[in-house]
Structure 1
């Protein structure tokens, strides 16, 4: 269905003082990211990078529900089930945007209030100044829909303390500010009730100076307190071993390990195995760009799979929350399919050159 030409734009851009403000503007969809939004952000950020009138950039979401609940998976579902190629093009643009945010030479301030999931992490957690609030619920929930963390998520989570990132990626849990800060996905906690006051200050004041009176103490993290048993349980490169280790802990009375076993039991077995393999490989890659290229390979292979559209159907389309995963058990996942998911795409490879991107951001 064509967009209403009279409707408000899906993303808004304005310059207030010397602050470039990007507002994701689909509040009814918790600002889910579309291809058009990614393209507009990429083009505007490139222009602002060389605009002397813009000294720093703020990214925020319209409404009270969150910065961005992820990519528009309904649009992806329609494209996949119709046999289209729009999703491939969308991801190529989105990943270039993620790389640009990471390389941006001007302060890039992400206000990570409310829901910040999947693609929302991609437009925020690669920034230079990442702000969470007590209302933040963030994470990479892709295994729930038969997919794998992308937008650089495997790069970030593979570098989190110990095995905390492995836990976050496999379980896909929505995490509060304390856990997001501990994982390294954000920098500071601020009071959402003072956010507008901070934004006004940013119009004329450099972010490092403006932030000083708004930063709150870092709260204690459950993930940090669970490090000892979590590092041991998630150390393996086989999901079956991880589940067995968690179950052994649960049998000894570890309630959190037991919850993790139950959570993993609801996820796509194929997605769990691809996620773990992606994390382990990402940890050995040197740059975000290399990881995004890997995520693109894996993502395009998953587009051809059964579980991804089935996961979206169950969670978002029919909302029966009962996906029929195929295969249904971890031990039934074909190792050859896992390995082939990381193979070169040939002419379809996504080639991100950080040096080329830096030409427009220096």
Structure 2
């Protein structure tokens, strides 16, 4: 079922009535690869009908974060050397895992301490109990690597108040605990100094009681004060108009957001906005994940994903050369192609509980 070795990429242990899953690639901030996704799925299957496991607890090894996302180096190598089929298979199983977490029949407690980005959001923010700390930095930064928010990210971001999710999706901005709570990406705040006691208590205490004992009021966030300009600017129908509104509204943070957006992949920006608008009309997380799978597979065939990973992670030049380079060069037909059906490889996620 899973690798019991201490160097396994997912550590599995039991403490009282709690089953603990520890993402264990600390040097990579616990970035997810296909083996880890399979291990997580196998253990969740085993524990679903195990009466001795009352609660599942997800944490990350090391001090830097729960999970920095998917292993994008392997995606880069797969696209560069082959046809991207390994990446498509990874996403298929990853998105199934995201849906599984969302409908899991037992309390699933995700400790979102430190960096939680991309795929890290997928294995945490769909859970029942999502705990952030003063060290949490939660983000869906995909447009910066020529990609589009996935792992159910477009579902979560379209359920935020107003247009906060559109702002986070296009800019890739990381938020702290207070804003994660405001945006519905987390539920509870526990100071990092109390995490060891909190997770230990879950072995013999109901989750609600552990939260009562160790939960605290979260520090104030920053986004609530920005709602007026965010809601106005990001309600526009096109990325170009959003940028115009951001520059015109007179707020310093809005101008900075516009400048950030203009560094992102033009294709990824337009597809992201379309994905968000479409996701708002889809009824379940599973339906959104199906859409994200089509979009992700389409991204494999275009240059921006490989180029974005190269610039941000491989040689770290931080100067991607997007193709096309301008928003005006990305046509509606270019965007529409991302939403065409993918054949037999589609996730085919069954309906289930969604947040």
Structures share fold, TM-score greater than 0.5: yes
Per-residue deviation, 1:229? 1.3
Alpha-carbon separation, structure 2, partners of 1:197 and 1:155? 33
Per-residue deviation, 1:340? 1.4
1:145-177 CA deviation, whole Å, 9 max, x = no partner?
000000000000011000000000000011111
Q: TM-score, normalised by structure 1?
A: 0.94
Following superposition of structure 1 onto structure 2, how do residues 162-201 of structure 1 map, counting pairs within 5 Å? 162-201=162-201
Partner of residue 24, structure 1: 23
Q: 1:288 aligns with which of 268, 285, 290?
A: 285
Alpha-carbon separation, structure 2, partners of 1:207 and 1:83? 46
Partner of residue 311, structure 1: 308
Q: Does 1:336 align with 2:337?
A: no
Report if the CA contact (8 A) 1:163-1:234 is conserved: yes
Partner of residue 41, structure 1: 40
Q: TM-score, normalised by structure 2?
A: 0.96
Following superposition of structure 1 onto structure 2, how do residues 7-86 of structure 1 map, counting pairs within 5 Å? 8-84=7-83, 85-86=85-86
Alpha-carbon separation, structure 2, partners of 1:207 and 1:350? 32
Per-residue deviation, 1:6? 8.0
Alpha-carbon separation, structure 1, partners of 2:208 and 2:5? 39
Partner of residue 272, structure 1: 269
Partner of residue 140, structure 1: 140
Q: CA separation of 1:167/1:21 partners in 2, compared to 1, >3 Å: closer, same or farther?
A: same
- Secondary structure of the corresponding residue to residue 223 of structure 2: helix
- Secondary structure of the corresponding residue to residue 237 of structure 2: coil
What RMSD, in angstroms, separates the aligned Cα atoms of the two structures?
A: 1.4
Per-residue deviation, 1:213? 1.6
Report if the CA contact (8 A) 2:92-2:345 is conserved: no
Corresponding residue pairs, total: 350
Alpha-carbon separation, structure 1, partners of 2:36 and 2:124? 14
- Which portions of structure 1, spanning 4 or more consecutive aligned residues, are displaced by more than 3 angstroms? none
Per-residue deviation, 1:7? 7.3
Alpha-carbon separation, structure 2, partners of 1:255 and 1:66? 30
Alpha-carbon separation, structure 1, partners of 2:350 and 2:246? 40
Alpha-carbon separation, structure 2, partners of 1:289 and 1:115? 25
- Secondary structure of the corresponding residue to residue 226 of structure 1: helix
Report if the CA contact (8 A) 1:137-1:176 is conserved: yes
Partner of residue 248, structure 2: 248
Partner of residue 159, structure 1: 159
Alpha-carbon separation, structure 2, partners of 1:280 and 1:335? 14
Partner of residue 107, structure 1: 107
Alpha-carbon separation, structure 2, partners of 1:174 and 1:311? 18
Alpha-carbon separation, structure 2, partners of 1:112 and 1:204? 21
In structure 1, stretches of 5+ residues that fail to align are: none
In structure 2, stretches of 5+ residues that fail to align are: none
Per-residue deviation, 1:195? 0.5
Per-residue deviation, 1:83? 1.4
